[in-house]
Amino acid sequence: MKKIILIISLFIGIQANAQQGDWKTVGKFISRDSITKDSYTLIFVDLDSTFVKQGGAVKQRMEDAFFKVYPQEAKAFNKKTLRKVVFIIDPNYNGVAATADGTVRFNPKWMLKQPTDLDVVTHEVMHIVQDYGDNAGPGWLTEGIADYVRYVYGVDNVTAKWILPALKPTHHYDNAYRITARFLVWIEKDVKKGTVQKLDSQLRSHTYTDESWKKLTGKTVDELWAAYVANENKAA
């Protein structure tokens, strides 16, 4: 069943490109290969002629990052995650990267300009592991967990100069991404280890509610944030 979903998602991806009037480029279909290691397969589809010529080393490092972090993320968060993942190097995608249904689209311009930003892979494939479906919980938490995972499991955040920014008075837990991630790191360290795993699991089973924080840690998310801010200010 998962195989079918994967093939469909690849097809939809190509369809989406066709709708953007880029069928010719897709038709040239520059390269596609499939790598299997242990029980995981990565299908790497390149729709960008520039990336094919210049991105060989980046491609290799993206593949290495995938085979290093995806099994770790699966083991820590969701052992039933998809065994096959598709990466598409898509010149029509203007963000950095995005993920849906086992497929990650990468912007070739970004990957060639920032070839050390390999933990984009770590963040994006965590979205496959998360597999929360619709209306599972707040989007800020989904993105916060993905950046928490990038921070903990990242292959080379240092070279990419990717850090969790210091707390500022304007920050709030629902700012998502790195601001939420830093708050989650503090909860794991100073409040209750394993909270992120439990939140992730509840989001996937659609049992997450606003009460989850209190049940898991004894404090509401607002109380946790107040404690985090107080602790940071004391340390500063």
Long-range contact set of residues 107-113: C-beta below 8 Å, sequence gap at least 24: 108/48, 108/50, 108/51, 108/55, 111/51, 111/55, 111/58, 111/62, 112/50, 112/51, 112/54, 112/55, 112/58
Q: CB pairs under 8 A, 24+ apart, for 178-184? A: 178/147, 178/151, 179/144, 180/140, 180/141, 180/143, 180/144, 180/145, 180/147, 180/148, 181/144, 181/145, 181/147, 181/148, 181/150, 181/151, 183/144, 183/224, 183/225, 183/228, 184/144, 184/145, 184/148
Shortest Å, Cβ 24 to Zn ion: 30
Q: In terms of CB distance, is 74 or 129 closer to Zn ion?
A: 129
Q: How far is the CB of 177 from Zn ion (least distance, A)?
A: 8
Closest residue by beta carbon to Zn ion = 146
Residue 38, classed as helix, strand or coil, is coil
- How many residues would you count in the chain? 236
Task: Give the C-alpha separation, 68 to 30, whole Å.
Answer: 26
Rounded least distance, CB 129 to Zn ion, Å: 12
Based on CB atoms, which residue is closest to Zn ion, 25 or 142?
Answer: 142
- Residue closer to Zn ion, measured from CB, 26 or 106: 106
Please report how close the Cβ of residue 116 comes to Zn ion at its closest, in angstroms: 19
Nearer to Zn ion by Cβ, of 122 and 212: the residue is 122
Nearer to Zn ion, 146 or 203 (CB): 146
Tokens of 161: 């100069």
Nearer to Zn ion, 39 or 135 (CB): 135
Contact indicator for 86, 148 with CB cutoff of 8 Å:
no
Q: How far is the CB of 99 from Zn ion (least distance, A)?
A: 7
Token digits of residue 84? 């096959």
> Cβ closer to Zn ion: 26 or 176?
176
By the criterion CB under 5 A, which residues form the site for Zn ion? 143, 146
What is the closest distance, in whole angstroms, from the C-beta atom of residue 36 to Zn ion in the complex?
26
Work out how close the CB of 98 gets to Zn ion at its nearest, in angstroms, rounded to a whole number. 8
